[in-house]
Amino acid sequence: MKGKGIVVGVTGGIAAYKAAELVRLLVREEAVVRVAMTANAARFVAPLTFEALSGNRVLCDMWGPEAGAMDHISLGQEADLVIVAPATANFIGKMANGIGDDFLSTMLLAATAPVLVCPAMNVKMYGNPVVQKNLEVLKDRGVTVMEPGEGQLACRSEGKGRLPDPPEIVEEAQRLLSPRDLQGMRILVTAGPTVEPLDPVRYITNRSSGKMGYAVARAAWRRGASVVLVSGPTCIAPPRGVDFKPVRTAFEMRDTVFALAPRTHVIVKAAAVADYRPKSTADQKIKKGPRALTLDLEKNPDILAELGKTDTFSGILVGFAAETEELLGNAEAKLKAKNLDMIVANDVSRKDAGFETDTNAVKILFREGRMEETPLLGKDQVADLLLDRIKVLWEDRGERRRGD
Ligand code: CTP
C-alpha cells in the first residue's frame, strides 16, 4: 500500500472508534490517509484522534477552514480508494439516493476512485429491506460492500451488524488496490507443517510457521485467483477469501491435494511435510519405563513427487526446498527428481529467512535451467514475485495447449 492515497470516511455509529484502528493499520502499511468525518461521527470520536493517527487534517465541514475550496471534488478523484467505515444506515441511504449534504457525502458523489463500504448497525436495522435495497443499489453501481460480522452488538443485541475487524478491512482494501491479473487461475497452496501422532498427546512435527504459504495464498486471492489453502496446524488465521482446508498428517494432506488436483491449474507446495511418521500410533498415552525409548519411523508419501508423476494433475507444479547446506545443488536435484516447473530454494539456517520469519530471500530455479535470486524481502513481496513468475508459466502453458 506504499504511497497509495486512501480516504477513510467515518460516519456516526458507535463503531467509529474502530475506524481509528483502521487508520492506524493503513498508515502502518505506508498508505497516505485522509480522513473525512460526518458531524455525527465527530460526536463519537474527536477529529483530533484521526488527525494524530493519519498525520493529516481531518475534513469534517464543507465550509470549515480545513477544507480547500475544491477538496470535496478532488479528494475522491485523486485517491486510489475511498473506504466508508463504519457506514450507518442513514449514510448508506444518502449514498444510494445521491444526496450530498455534507463534506463526505458530497465528496462521494464526485468520487471516481473505487469505493469500499463497510456497514455497521443494529441487526434489525441491517435486516430492514430498505437498507438491503440501498446496499443492492450501491453494489449495482460498482461499490464494494463488506458483509458485517455477526456477534454481540454495541446495542446489546446479537446478530449481524458488527463492523468487520480492521485487519479484514485492510485485506479487502489491499485486494481492491491490487491488479486482478490472476483472474481465472485456480491455485492450490499447501502450507505449514504436518503433525504425525505418536499417541493421543504427542506428535512429531517441524518448525514451519506456514507464513510463506499463507502469503502466497493471500496474494493470489488479492490478484483475483480462486485459491484453496491446504494447511497443517499453524498459529495464523486463514487469509480472507480462500477456501481453507485444514489437515494434520501427511496422508490427510495427500488425500486432500489429490482430490482437488484435477480441477487445479497451479499447485504450490510450500508445506513442510514430515518425511517420516511413527510406525504405529498408540491408542493410549505411552507411559515412561525404566529404559530408553526407541521410535520406529516409516516413510511418508512424497506428495510433490507423486504429483510430478501422476496423470491426475497436468498444471504448473511448484515446490519449495528447505535446505541448510548445498542450497542450489539440493534444490536442482529436487526440481528434476520431482518433475517440477519451478522450485523455490530457501536457506533455512539463516535467521532472517525461512522458518518462522516475516522476511525471506530465495533462489528460484526453473525447469529449463534458469535461476533467479531475490534480495531479502517481506514474505508478502516474495509471494507476489513468485506469483509473477507462476503467471508467466501458466500463460505459457495455456498458449502451448491452445497451439497443440
Ligand atoms: N514434500 C512433499 N512430501 C514430502 C516431503 C516433501 O510434498 N513427504 C514437498 C514439500 O512440500 C516441498 C518439497 O517437497 O515443496 C521439498 O521438501 P523438502 O522438505 O525441502 O525436501 P524433501 O523432498 O523432503 O527432502 P529432504 O528432507 O531430504 O531435504
Q: Identify the structural domains of the chain with CATH numbers, from first to last.
A: 5-177 (3.40.50.1950), 186-282+293-403 (3.40.50.10300)
Mean pLDDT score of the chain? 93
CA distance 259 to 250: 14
Task: With a cut of 70, say whether residue 400 has pLDDT above it.
Answer: no
- pLDDT above 60 for 403: no
Mean pLDDT calculated for residue range 255-280: 96
Cell of 283: 491408542
Decide if 41 contacts 11 (C-beta within 8 A): yes
Largest CA distance in the chain: 85
335-357 pLDDT, tens per residue? 999 999 999 998 888 777 767 78
Q: Which atom of ligand 1 is nearest to the CA of 301?
A: 8
Q: Is residue 334 in contact with ligand 1, taking CB distance under 6 Å?
A: yes
Which tens digits make up the pLDDT trace of 63-107? 777 767 678 888 888 999 999 999 999 999 999 999 999 999 999
- Mean pLDDT score, 149-174: 88
**Pocket perturbation via mutation, ligand 1, pick of 268, 273, 307, 330 by most ligand atoms within 8 A of CB:** 273
Span from the CA of 313 to the centroid of ligand 1 (angstroms)? 18
Averaged pLDDT, 162-169: 95
Please indicate whether residue 41 or residue 160 has the higher confidence score (pLDDT). 41
In Å, what is the CA distance from 227 to each residue of 78, 209, 375?
Answer: 32, 19, 27
Sign of CA dihedral 325, 327, 330, 334: positive
In this prediction the pTM is 0.89
Closest by CA to 383, choosing from 237, 259, 225, 254, is 225
Q: How confident is the model at residue 108 (pLDDT cuts 50, 70, 90)?
A: very high
- The per-residue pLDDT for 373 is 93
Q: In angstroms, what is the span from residue 302 Cα to ligand 1's centroid?
A: 7
Output the pLDDT for position 164: 94
Q: Based on the residue annotation, tell me whether 155 is a catalytic residue of this protein.
A: yes
> Tell me, what's the pLDDT at 33?
98
More confidently predicted of 56 and 352: 56
Cis ω for the linkage preceding 114 (within 30 of 0): no
pLDDT at 67: 67
Closest CA to 214 of 180, 187, 237: 237
Residue linked to cell 478532488: 74
Q: Would you state the pLDDT for residue 61? A: 83
Looking at the CA of residue 271, tell me the nearest atom of ligand 1: 11
Residue of 299, 304, 316, 317 best suited for mutating to test ligand 1, as the one with most atoms within 8 Å of CB = 304
pLDDT value, residue 401 = 61
Sorted by sequence, the CB contacts under 8 Å of residue 74 that are 6+ apart come out as 68
Give me ligand 1 centre to Cα 375, in Å.
24
Helix (H), strand (E) at residue 160: strand 158-162
For residue 317 and ligand 1, the question of a CB distance below 6 A is answered with no
Q: How confident is the model at residue 5 (pLDDT cuts 50, 70, 90)?
A: very high
DSSP category for residue 193 = B
The model's pLDDT over 198-234, given as tens digits with 9 standing for 90+, comes to 999 999 999 999 999 999 999 999 999 999 999 999 9
Quote the ligand 1 centre to 296 CA distance (angstroms).
20
| pLDDT over threshold 80, residue 115 | yes
In contact, 218 and 179? CB cutoff 8 Å: no
* Residue with CA nearest ligand 1 atom 8: 302
Question: What residue owns the CA closest to ligand 1's atom 27?
Answer: 275
Ligand 1 touching residue 269 (CB < 6 A): yes
Ligand 1 atom nearest to 338, measured from its CA: 14
Ligand 1 near 161 CB (within 6 A): no
Residue 402 confidence (pLDDT) = 56
Q: Is 194 in the pocket of ligand 1 (CB under 6 A)?
A: no
pLDDT on residue 193: 97
**CA pair distance 39, 42, nearest whole angstrom:** 5
Residue 320 in contact with ligand 1 by CB distance below 6 A: yes
Could you report the per-residue pLDDT of 303-343, keeping only the tens digit for each?
A: 999 999 998 899 999 999 988 899 999 999 999 999 999 99
Q: Is the CB of 321 under 6 A from ligand 1?
A: yes
Q: Is 396 helix (H, G, I), strand (E, B) or coil?
A: helix
With pLDDT > 70 as the criterion, what percentage of the chain qualifies? Answer: 98
The confidence score (pLDDT) of residue 297 equals 96
302 lines ligand 1 (CB under 6 A): yes
How much is the average pLDDT of 26-41? Answer: 96
- For 16, 42, 128, 242, 349, the CA distances from 125, given in Å and listed in that order, are 17, 22, 5, 30, 55
How remote is the CA of residue 196 from the centroid of ligand 1, in Å?
A: 15
Residue type, 187: I
Give the span between the Cα atoms of 360 and 355, in whole angstroms.
9
In this prediction, residue 71 carries a pLDDT of 82
For a ligand 1 pocket test, name from 188, 206, 249, 302 the mutation site with the most ligand atoms within 8 angstroms of its C-beta: 302
Percentage of the chain modeled with pLDDT above 90: 83
Is residue 191 lining ligand 1, measured as CB closer than 6 Å?
Answer: no
The residue annotated as part of the active site, out of 60, 118, 155, 235, is 155
